[in-house]
Structure 1
Amino acid sequence: MAHEFKEISPNASGGAKLTNWFENRFPTAFDAYRVHMSEYYAPKNFNFWYIFGSLSLLVLVIQIVTGIFLVMHYKPDAAKAFESVEYIMRDVPWGWLIRYMHSTGASAFFVVVYLHMFRGLIYGSYRKPRELVWIFGCAIFLALMAEAFMGYLLPWGQMSYWGAQVIVNLFAAVPFVGPDLALLIRGDYVVSDATLNRFFSFHVIAVPLVLLGLVVAHLLALHDVGSNNPDGIEIKGPKAPKDAKGNPLDGIPFHPFYTVHDILGVCLFLMAFTAVIFFAPEFGGYFLEYNNFIPADPLQTPLHIAPVWYFTPFYSMLRAITSEMMYVLIACVLLGAVLAVVKIKLPAFIKAGVVGAAVVVSVLMLSIDAKFWGVVVMGGAVVILFGLPWFDQSPVKSIRYRPSWHKYVYAVFVVNFVVLAYLGVQPPSPVGERVSQVGTLFYFGFFLLMPWWSRLGEPKPVPDRVTFAAH
């Protein structure tokens, strides 16, 4: 369908004439600006928790731009990779700054994404009608983990090499296809030049394309259903108050109001970001491990191998699954089946199927090595996030109006996650193993028991309109 040209007054300013010229020839861009910025109404009671989505986009741009400059000088060759990183750091003009921006950006990415996901958790941003928004977000998280893991090997340092060796070898624990799967990922029988080239291609081309596509889908899905808010009240529903033009009274245009709001958050973030880059780029060995400043040596295993901090909660869950722990997991599976049969109204044949499935899973857990189930638990800890929209059965969305004790449950969940992250960077110990096992059970119990505990207690009255104080 042809677009009608808009006429403009001959006395208009040069800027207005230029804008009109572009709009007549590229109206789609201006329509997108109006739909997603100037005429997109967001709830007027956003707080500081809503800055982390914009910060995630900012860090993504930083990673792409710095990555482009790093690729200009990096050599994806096992004999040259480490030296090329040193060349970037020492000889390329401002190369040290670009490299530190990229390495710090990787950790910053996970910081803002974890906080962004936590905001969605406490305000119920995954609830109807935003299930797809949450699912796309979880897919972004998975892609981000893959991107970080692939990039972790590229410096070809001692910890990068052995970390990749350990993680890839975990796939060999999968029954029947495990060894072939690990060989497919490595491209060789050990982590080698073939592995480096595969990881480089995925890190630079394949995964970023998937990541960008998921980000676009996430934003489009969000703008189709509208943003959630701290009160969990729909501002665009059929009962929501609207003005004469049909715009929600409890909303304001994203631009210019929230662009200014986000710019303030961006400035504060960049201050902290640059402080880390210039004064603590290694961040005590958490952002850049000291062993990674040593060239990879396939003949010398480090005394302690641990992933980067943002993977350590899941690594702790992996290490928590021992042969003794399997009996606890079997008991949990059987108990869950009994509760499902007794407490949930289901047809008899479905109850029989639940019991049969529990018995089969228990037999498999006894017959297959615990290492495999550790991999299942580690992967399941991420996959379980996709089910959150259906686990939560609370009559209200936001933590503001849930029973007060729910806040303590969420607080314990956060503390538990942080403890698991800490244990993941520590050498194995009997005490750490027990704590990580308890933490793993709590992590999964938080989600799997949510259909039960989220309905307990009396919620507080939810207001008809969003609560907002002008400031």
Structure 2
Amino acid sequence: MSGSTTFVPKNPVLKWFESRLPIIGLVHSSFVAFPNPRNLNYFWTFGGILAFMLVAQIVTGVVLAMHYTPESTLAFASVEHIMRDVNFGWLLRYMHANGASMFFIAVYIHIARGLYYGSYKAPREILWILGVIIFLLMMATAFMGYVLPWGQMSFWGAKVITSLFSAIPLVGDAITVWLWGGYSVGNATLNRFFALHYLLPFMIAGLVVLHIWALHVPGSNNPLGVEVKSKKDTLPFHPYFTVKDGLAVVCFMLFFSYFVFYVPNYLGHADNYIEANPLVTPAHIVPEWYFLPYYAMLRAVPNKLGGVCALFGSILLLAFLPWLDTSRIRSANFRPVYRVFLWVWFAAVAGLGYCGSQEPVGGIVTASQILTFWYFFHLLVVLPLLGFFETPLKLPATITDAVLSTTRGSSGAMVAARTTASPSVDG
């Protein structure tokens, strides 16, 4: 479904350049003339929002790195220096810190949309797998970035999470020492995390290019889950979807700006404004909110190695969804039973997030164990079996038929409403 370019440069310099490196034509075919299903809704705009947020995070991160000092006795003070002394340093820091949360809000909606509309099904398996890899790198980048302020929660969060690798048989202790750069979390750890936190966003950007490339081969999925049958089913990316994406980015920026300017520390933790102290353990060690469901899974399993396997397995299993889901129907709109189970699964993930934010005592532990069981049961048992037993609804023949029937139905309803509401001539 790749779009063919109609770009013909008129400027002689551009014509000369294009004949030797047709990069403008490539951009035109990929982001101007590229055909998209005409029924895409606003859930499809989160890809553009994520691209915008990635650029914002890289730009603010590079500028912050110019003023940050990755040394254990100076790191905390350098963050305060950025906040107090660097021109607009407070803005850069709040944009970067809250930008990570905005990034995860957008990516979770993006993943949920893919799950609901079956965007992982053939022929888009590679596209989905690349997305899961990007998600894993995002989590690694965010974790390492959270360590850099070198506050109490940064230090103890790093100690708890890196200690998990010691549960791996035979090589666990060696991996942990290598991560720490010694026998405890310290200056070497901070330096390594800073270097990797700086590097990984550029790796993510490279994978995003592959992700977009993989998207442009089969084209976008759509809310109906019906493949494009003819040109009538599509519209060019520009101006129809550039305008739609632009509006979504502006609305998302307003949401982002509210946190940056009015509640910049709402999504953070107060203990991180206390300098790291290896001799004082915080009363309740919690990660950032976007890690809470996985943190709850980690604590739900009594065995340390089992908890680590549950944590990483919960993410890696997502890469196998194209094969775990045995139904040939993509969209949950036409799978009534799957739709109910999926909303229950979404509720379970939200419940795990709440459990991860609470102290692991009593009913919280029990709830975490039940929700963790259901998380894996849904992916490993419910999803494969539904494909054999569920009776889906009838799919429309084409995207155009569905769009036109909806339009006609809405127009008919409006006419009927006007007729009912209008008084008769006879009064």
Q: Normalized against structure 2, the TM-score is what? A: 0.90
CA distance in 1, matches of 2:202, 2:289: 25
Partner of 2:13: 21
Structure 2 gaps of 5+ residues are 1-7, 411-427
Q: Which of 36, 40, 49 matches 1:46?
A: 40
User: Are 1:234 and 2:166 an aligned pair?
Assistant: no
Residue of structure 1 aligned with 2:214, choices 217, 221, 233: 221
How does 1:306-321 map onto structure 2 within 5 Å? 306-321=286-301
**What is the 5 A alignment of 1:189-268?**
189-205=183-199, 207-235=200-228, 240-241=229-230, 248-268=231-251
Distance in structure 2 (CA, Å) of the matches to 1:24 and 1:226 = 31
CA distance in 1, matches of 2:328, 2:315: 25
Aligned equivalent of 2:310, options 362, 368, 377: 377
Counterparts of 2:256 and 2:179, CA distance in 1: 34
| Whole-angstrom CA distance in 1 between matches of 2:15 and 2:360 | 62
In structure 1, which of residues 407, 420, 425 is the aligned counterpart of residue 357 of structure 2?
Answer: 425
Structure 2 CA distance for aligned equivalents of residues 122 and 230 of structure 1: 9
Find the aligned partners of 1:454 and 1:289 in 2 and give their Cα distance: 43
State the Cα RMSD in Å.
1.4
Contact 1:394–1:454 (Cα < 8 Å) also in 2: yes
**Paired AA for residue 69 in structure 2:** K
Name the CA distance, whole Å, in 2 between partners of 1:48 and 1:96.
Answer: 32
Q: How does 1:385-464 map to 2 (within 5 A)?
A: 385-402=318-335, 404-449=336-381, 450-464=383-397
Equivalents in 2 of 1:23, 1:313: separation in Å?
53
1:295 corresponds in structure 2 to 275
Q: Distance in 1 between matches of 2:203 and 2:60?
A: 19
Equivalent residues of 1:395, 1:459 under 8 A apart: no
Q: Does 1:275 align with 2:245?
A: no
Q: CA deviation at 1:17?
A: 5.5
Aligned length: 394
Residue in structure 2 matched with residue 342 of structure 1 by the alignment: none
Please give the alpha-carbon distance, in whole angstroms, between the structure 1 residues aligned to 2:344 and 2:265.
29
**Hey, what's the Cα distance between the residues in 1 that align with 2:306 and 2:252?**
39
The residue aligned with 1:147 is 141
Percent of matched pairs sharing the same residue:
43
Opposite residue 391 of structure 1, the aligned amino acid is L
| Residue type at the aligned position of 2:250 | C
Q: Equivalent residue of 2:216, what SS?
A: helix
- Counterpart in the other structure of 1:37: 31
User: How far off its partner does 1:408 sit?
Assistant: 1.5
- The one of 39, 55, 66 equivalent to 2:60 is 66
Q: Deviations over 1:243-271 (max 9, x none)?
A: xxxxx210011111100000110110111
**Following the alignment from structure 1 to structure 2, what is the Cα–Cα distance between the partners of residues 439 and 147?**
27
Q: Which TM-score applies when normalising by structure 1?
A: 0.82
Instruction: Decide which of 48, 51, 71 is 1:77's aligned counterpart.
Output: 71
Q: Give me the whole-angstrom Cα distance separating, in 1, the residues matched to 2:93 and 2:100.
A: 11
Find the aligned partners of 1:99 and 1:457 in 2 and give their Cα distance. Answer: 50
Matched residue SS, 1:190:
coil
Check conservation: 1:133, 1:218, Cα contact below 8 A: yes
Give the match's secondary structure for 1:455: helix
Q: Which residue of structure 2 lines up, in the alignment, with residue 3 of structure 1?
A: none
Query: Secondary structure at 2:389's aligned position in 1?
Result: coil
Query: What is the CA distance between 1:430 and its match in structure 2?
Result: 1.3
1:49-77 Cα deviation digits (max 9, x unpaired): 11111111011011001001101100001
Whether the aligned pair in 1 keeps the contact of 2:54 and 2:205 (CA below 8 Å) is: no
Letter in 1 for 2:310: V
- Map of 1:182 onto structure 2: 176
Query: How big is each residue's C-alpha offset from its partner over 1:330-389, in whole Å with a ceiling of 9 and x where there is no partner?
Result: xxxxxxxxxxxxxxxxxxxxxxxxxxxxxxxxxxxxxxxx11111011110110001000
Q: Which moved more, 1:445-454 or 1:60-69?
A: 445-454
Q: Give the Cα separation in 2 of the matches to 1:278 and 1:431.
A: 37
Mark the CA change 1:107 to 1:292 in structure 2 (over 3 Å): closer, same or farther: same
**Superposition pairs of residues 323-342 of structure 1, within 5 angstroms:** none
Secondary structure, in 3 states, of the residue corresponding to 2:212?
helix
Residue matched to 1:305? 285
**Which runs of no fewer than 5 residues in structure 1 stay unpaired?**
1-7, 9-15, 242-247, 323-369
Q: Name the SS of the counterpart of 2:293 in structure 1.
A: helix
CA distance in 1, matches of 2:341, 2:224: 19
Whole-angstrom CA distance in 2 between matches of 1:23 and 1:213: 28
User: SS of the residue aligned with 2:235?
Assistant: strand
User: What one-letter code is carried by the residue in structure 1 that aligns with 2:213?
Assistant: L
Cα distance between partner residues in 2 of 1:292 and 1:455: 50
Is the Cα–Cα contact under 8 Å of residues 23 and 30 in structure 1 kept in the other structure?
A: no
Letter in 2 for 1:455: F
Cα distance in 1, alignment partners of residues 126 and 193 from structure 2: 29
Matches of 1:271 and 1:455, distance apart in 2: 45
CA distance in 2 between counterparts of 1:461 and 1:75 reads: 61
